[in-house]
Amino acid sequence: MKYQWLNILLTALTLSVNAKDLIKIGFVAHGPPIDIIQDHTLVGGIVFDVGTAIAQEAGYIATFQAIPTKRAEEWLAAAKVDILCLYNRHWLKAPDRFIWGPDLTHYEEYFIQNEDAPDIKNYQQLQGMTVATRLGYTYSPQLEALFKKEYSVRRNRQDTDSMYRLLTLKRVDSLIDNTWSFYHRQKNTPNFSLRLTSLRDAHYPLTCLCSQHPPELSNALLQSMNSLRNQGKIRQLMAKYLSPDLVN
């Protein structure tokens, strides 16, 4: 119910302001705690809170646009959105054509498996395994090499729920996901029977990136990011969703 009222308030607010006061923040749905979606609308989560704070600090009102998994870079280049939040250069084909903000936080991606499966400690153990992955995502060079040589099988899924469902049903040997998502599911899912393995695939610094045009907007957003980071407000926003050891 609270999200329905939030949707109504956001819609009313958006209609009451001039279009030049709005910025479009693109996001690819991943699931809580990164994004919380209600009735096809982003209403909460880390991306929502961080994006909203950046817009407000710069004097704008944030609106959010869902983007197909493999189209985020294309949409930003075409100015269909003004900014993407919590990204890493490694994920884009041509990152230098955008303006990147300061590192705002970091996150880690681990291999995850059923509790009764032997621990995974190195990439050699992945040979012969099927791994659930996100469609369009790029992983570590070691893992990508295993997929390319067909030593391991990549089972792509559009959404995170489907990846976890495959592993729970033991239709794959492992999945790869970030620790934010894993610990949120562990805390909020009854009879959760999955665990992190010992093998971390990647550790990413995350920030937001802007289109180069118009430069006035990108400069304002960069100043906003720096201000929020220096004041410690990014950490405060993330602490709403993450345990202290995951807020960095």
Tell me if residue 41 falls in helix, strand or coil: strand
Q: Find the mean pLDDT for residues 58-80.
A: 93
Name the token pair of 234: 């990014």
The per-residue pLDDT for 244 is 82
Answer yes or no: are the C-beta atoms of 82 and 20 closer than 8 Å. Answer: no
Query: Which percentage of the chain shows pLDDT scores above 70?
Result: 92
CA dist 146 and 150 (Å) reads 6
For 25, the token pair is 């923040």
What mean pLDDT comes out for the span 52-81? Answer: 94
Q: Is the peptide bond before 68 cis (omega within 30 degrees of 0)?
A: no
pLDDT reported for residue 136: 85
Give the pLDDT confidence score for residue 15 in this predicted structure.
46
What pLDDT is stored for residue 213 in this prediction?
84
pLDDT for res 7 = 54
What totals of helices (H) and strands (E) does the chain contain, helices first? 8, 11
The per-residue pLDDT for range 137-163, each reduced to its tens digit, is 889 999 999 999 999 999 999 899 999
Residue 68: pLDDT band (50, 70, 90) is confident
Average pLDDT over residues 167-176: 97
pLDDT of residue 4: 53
Confidence of residue 245 (pLDDT cuts 50, 70, 90): confident
The H or E element containing residue 222 is helix 215-230
Task: Give the chain's mean pLDDT.
Answer: 91
Record the tokens describing residue 132, joined without a space: 């659930």
Q: Above 80 in pLDDT, residue 20?
A: no
The domains located in the chain, with CATH, are 2-104+204-243 (3.40.190.10), 106-203 (3.40.190.10)
